[in-house]
Amino acid sequence: MNSTLMRQTAALLNDMLQFESPADGKLSEFFRQHRELGTKERAWIAETAYGVLRRYRYLREISIAEPDEQEDTRKLILAYLIKIEGKSIRDLDDMLDERQKEWAVQIKSKTSEGFSPAILADVRDWFWDKLVAQYGEAEAMTICRSMFEQASLDLRVNTIKATREEVLARMLAENTVKDNVITTTPYSPVGIRMGSRLNIGKHILFTEGKIEVQDEGSQLLSYLVAPKRGQMVADLCAGAGGKTLALGALMKNTGRLYAFDVSEKRLNNLGHRLKRSGLSNLQAQLINNENDLKLKRLNGKFDRVLVDAPCSGLGTLRRNPDLKWRQTEQDVAELNVKQSNILARAAKLCKVGGRVIYATCSLLRDENESIAEAFLQAHPDFKLIPASEVMAQQNIELDTGEYLKQLPHLHGTDGFFAAVFEKTGPATDTAKPD
Ligand SMILES: C[S@@+](CC[C@H](N)C(=O)[O-])C[C@H]1O[C@@H](n2cnc3c(N)ncnc32)[C@H](O)[C@@H]1O
């Protein structure tokens, strides 16, 4: 730690705190512009900037900082190092000038007495109120605090090319990082959890397509889709294909798997990953929106349709803490319209006896249960299949009731929600709620 690192981190953070685009993009851009930085310096800058993003609201209060001034961004960093990292003023001596030492003394003496629960939970008031209404204050606080932690690095073994035992044995044999615990994931049969965040992108197992980086919760969603060999499967919001590739592996490279998305950039990324994966049953198609005419000829054709809907992402705050500050209640309301529309379109693609699986990485009822309930009301030709039943059939011991609901503090995954609907009969145009 020195004053140059402090200055560089403050500059990065200042940019991130404009909140006009995702923090991970800003971080990559910053490192591209500062190629002179070594591995340790990069790690320190990234951890400190993300540490501040995780605790931004609390740190502002404790340091009485205004984020739009360079100086105050340094105050936020100081507050983070002292209050969250537990550094003493002496630890920081090398990086502080006289003025900053004065700030440090002030910050050190400040307590959180009188701070509201939302400040202590480090979220915006609207989000806090919604979480309290859903979970009660104690659990809402536990959920928010669990999001202060860094997420683990989870890998999915691509069973087209390797077994979990083989990959685990190799990872363990190669492990030279002290205290790096490498284990199988508790629920996903193809997951491996790494204690320390290695640069997996350069690992031979990755370049050979034997592993992919994927949160265990996301891996489990493909088991909830439960595609069978030879089936017709659509991933309607495939993005860069995290779940698509997992589905392809579960289908053992048989049947037909369609990946649709409105983002060309994401589908291009899927293309790169597809090459590594060894899958040949997958076809990616760019669509303008869920009503694209390209989808029309596929109506009633699919055994499984996954809607991994665009959502607030508020279940992924361990990885994307900036979303806490970037998402608004208005954004969620706009997403709700999209979510319902895409889900309704998915229903048309599904054949009788087939299933539509609706998923989000949000914790909010508005994006989850409310969308699922409204869908069932408007689609009497579909019934809810309990997620616990599907998981049991997949030999996965995870019973969260009718819906699959994963939470960081309970399952060690990102926050995910999913519902399974089965089409029991042909749609009727008169199908409307009473
Ligand atoms: C949650 S992300 C998908 C993540 C991806 N399934 C994965 O596992 O990596 C939601 C995706 O929905 C896409 N999207 C947004 N609106 C859409 C629409 N109307 N039809 C299809 N995809 C849409 C976005 O481009 C985004 O890639």
pLDDT band at 430 (very low <50, low <70, confident <90, very high): very low
From 212, 213, 215, 261, the mutation candidate for ligand 1 (largest count of ligand atoms within 8 A of CB) is: 261
Neighbours of 418 (CB within 10 A): 26
Ligand 1 atom nearest to CA at 306: 6
Ligand 1 atom nearest to CA at 263: 25
pLDDT band at 65 (very low <50, low <70, confident <90, very high): low
For residues 83-88, give the mean pLDDT.
95
Q: What is the pLDDT of residues 239-294, one digit of tens each?
A: 999 999 999 999 999 999 999 999 999 999 999 999 999 999 999 999 999 999 99
For residues 37-51, give the mean pLDDT.
94
290 CA to middle of ligand 1, Å? 10
The strand ranges marked E within 254-322 are 256-261, 282-286, 302-308
310 CA to middle of ligand 1, Å? 5
The strand ranges marked E within 75-140 are none
In a domain, 180, yes or no: no
Could you list the residues known to form a binding site, using ranges: 261, 308
Ligand 1 atom nearest to CA at 238: 6
Q: For ligand 1, atom 7, which residue shows the shortest CA distance?
A: 242
238 CA to middle of ligand 1, Å? 5
β-strand pairing of 211-213 with 191-194 = unpaired
265: domain CATH number? 3.40.50.150
240 CA to middle of ligand 1, Å? 9
Q: Are residues 408 and 272 in the same domain?
A: yes
In a domain, 432, yes or no: no
Task: State yes or no: pLDDT of 33 exceeds 90.
Answer: yes
Q: What pTM did the predictor assign?
A: 0.94
307 CA to middle of ligand 1, Å? 8
Rounded-to-integer distance, Cα 227 and Cα 277, Å: 18
Q: Are residues 391 and 269 in the same domain?
A: yes
Output the CA–CA distances (angstroms, integers) from residue 213 to 35, 185, 256, 293, 414, in the order listed. 25, 13, 24, 33, 14
Q: For ligand 1, atom 26, which residue shows the shortest CA distance?
A: 239
Tell me which of 87, 115, 143 is where a domain ends.
115
Q: For the chain, what is the domain count?
A: 2
Q: How far is CA 54 from the centre of its chain?
A: 15
In a domain, 371, yes or no: yes
Q: Residue 217 has what pLDDT?
A: 97
DSSP state of 420: E
Q: Which residues line ligand 1 (CB under 6 A)?
A: 218, 236-243, 260-263, 266, 287, 289-290, 308, 310, 338, 342
In a domain, 174, yes or no: no
By annotation, the residues acting in catalysis are 361
Percent of the chain scoring above 90 in pLDDT: 85
Neighbours of 138 (CB within 10 A): 9
Tell me which of 77, 100, 115 is where a domain ends.
115
Q: For ligand 1, atom 27, which residue shows the shortest CA distance?
A: 239
Q: Are residues 225 and 93 in the same domain?
A: no
Q: For ligand 1, atom 12, which residue shows the shortest CA distance?
A: 237
335 CA to middle of ligand 1, Å? 12
Q: Residue 2 has what pLDDT?
A: 80
Q: Are residues 377 and 240 in the same domain?
A: yes
Ligand 1 atom nearest to CA at 313: 1
**Listed residue (23, 31, 29, 70) closest to 51, CA to CA:** 23
Task: State yes or no: pLDDT of 431 exceeds 50.
Answer: no
Q: Are residues 233 and 372 in the same domain?
A: yes
For residues 156-176, give the mean pLDDT.
93
Domain boundaries, position 38: 3-115
Ligand 1 atom nearest to CA at 236: 21
In a domain, 176, yes or no: no
Q: What is the pLDDT of residues 8-25, one digit of tens each?
A: 999 999 999 999 999 999
Could you list the residues known to form a binding site for S-adenosyl-L-methionine, using ranges: 261, 308
Q: What is the pLDDT of residues 380-403, one digit of tens each?
A: 999 999 999 999 999 999 999 999
CA angle 368, 130, 139 (to 5 degrees): 95
In a domain, 231, yes or no: yes
282 CA to middle of ligand 1, Å? 17
For residues 128-147, give the mean pLDDT.
98
Tell me which of 98, 115, 132 is where a domain ends.
115
In a domain, 137, yes or no: no
ipTM computed for the complex: 0.99
In a domain, 373, yes or no: yes
Q: For ligand 1, atom 19, which residue shows the shortest CA distance?
A: 289
Q: What is the pLDDT of residues 323-369, one digit of tens each?
A: 999 999 999 999 999 999 999 999 999 999 999 999 999 999 999 99
Rounded-to-integer distance, Cα 411 and Cα 195, Å: 16
Q: Are residues 401 and 257 in the same domain?
A: yes
Neighbours of 306 (CB within 10 A): 28
From 220, 236, 243, 262, the mutation candidate for ligand 1 (largest count of ligand atoms within 8 A of CB) is: 262
